[in-house]
Structure 1
């Protein structure tokens, strides 16, 4: 039996190779849909960096510790975690990004029924990742994008570096 999900023609679909709404920039898609799929080229153009500058990050996914907090007993996810404050100044139009001291990750069970409701102490993001030339522009570019939807002077950012292994069957994405 095949199940078909009908979505409005202007929605991004959650499959690889799906066409993006023609003529809609990221902010418009995000505002209209509540989410936005973006190609690497579109995301890096928004952050004003070259796609190639992100290639140095690829090797850093080979050194992610196992997620020790999977209540379903799985061994399919590896990750690191870090927290940042982004300050957006209307005077200079230059966002400032500051890494804050490490803190554990927490989500309420209402948001994450399986893994929420507990402090999770993941290994910190490495300096090798946070010092890449693409890192600050990517985070601050996204913060500026989100500020177009919800104007603010400051964002608290939790950054997660994930790897989900699907070799043993179905992958289980994060919420």
Structure 2
């Protein structure tokens, strides 16, 4: 995989400072540079029209669709991400009592996602921020395993969409970054941010494309309110599309 030439800051938000001081940071989508890479961001958005049903919903629901890809990033390789062959995703039952405890095989992401320059830039930005927070020397990074999930939550009149059926939780990684790709015809879906004891800190609404929540997964619990069809939209179904990324340090 060739290196990605990074043109400058990806977001105007100081993500590292937010995480350092309170365990999480909210970054408005208007502060992201989504125009770099020609058609890269629109291609990522279009990929959400080709997700597969999530077969691991313990409540028997049919409201979640997703694809998955895992990347490895070695600091010595510079601005390079290496996609891994399709493989299982695992969370312990302690971390995810709803669907954890056994490997889950999700539909793999295609080349429009795996090779997407905007996605690579976004993930490399996360790796840089999290390396600094984890104690890397200035100008030097750390090695990371990065899981990426494209997730669509569908809401219908007869079935609310549940972005977090497990409730407020940890993901079981070092750091996470959650990015809204889009919302169509829905209400609800506010994020829930809590301290380790479950006390609520904030309930922000990710409403515009690339509105994002970054967090130290060991310091913060997170969840999301149910998503409901918006009666004013005049639709029978609505959608909330998220790009969920999680970082596990490997060096």
Report TM bin, short chain.
0.7 to 0.9
- Structure 2 counterparts to residues 64-143 of structure 1, below 5 A: 64-89=51-76, 94-143=78-127
Tell me the matched-pair count: 148
2:19 to 30, 35, 45: 30
CA distance in 2: counterparts of 1:51 and 1:81, whole angstroms: 24
Separation (CA, whole Å) in 2 of partners of 1:69 and 1:164: 14
TM superposition score normalised by structure 2: 0.53
1:147 aligned onto 2:123: no
Instruction: Choose 137-146 or 127-136, whichever is displaced more.
Output: 127-136
- Bigger mean CA offset, 65-74 vs 34-43: 34-43
- Structure with the bigger percentage of strand: 2
Instruction: Decide which of 37, 43, 61 is 1:56's aligned counterpart.
Output: 43
Task: Report the Cα offset of residue 52 of structure 1.
Answer: 6.9
1:87-131 alpha-carbon deviations (Å, 9 max, x no partner)? 123xx8x33211112210110011111100011111101111122
Note if contact 2:63-2:160 (Cα within 8 Å) is conserved in structure 1. no
* Structure 1 spans left out of the alignment, 5+ residues: 1-22
Distance 1:125 1:153, change over 3 A: same
> What do you get for the CA RMSD once the two structures are aligned?
2.4
- TM-score, scaled to structure 1: 0.74
* Bigger share in helix: 1
Q: Please name the residue that 2:146 is paired with.
A: 157
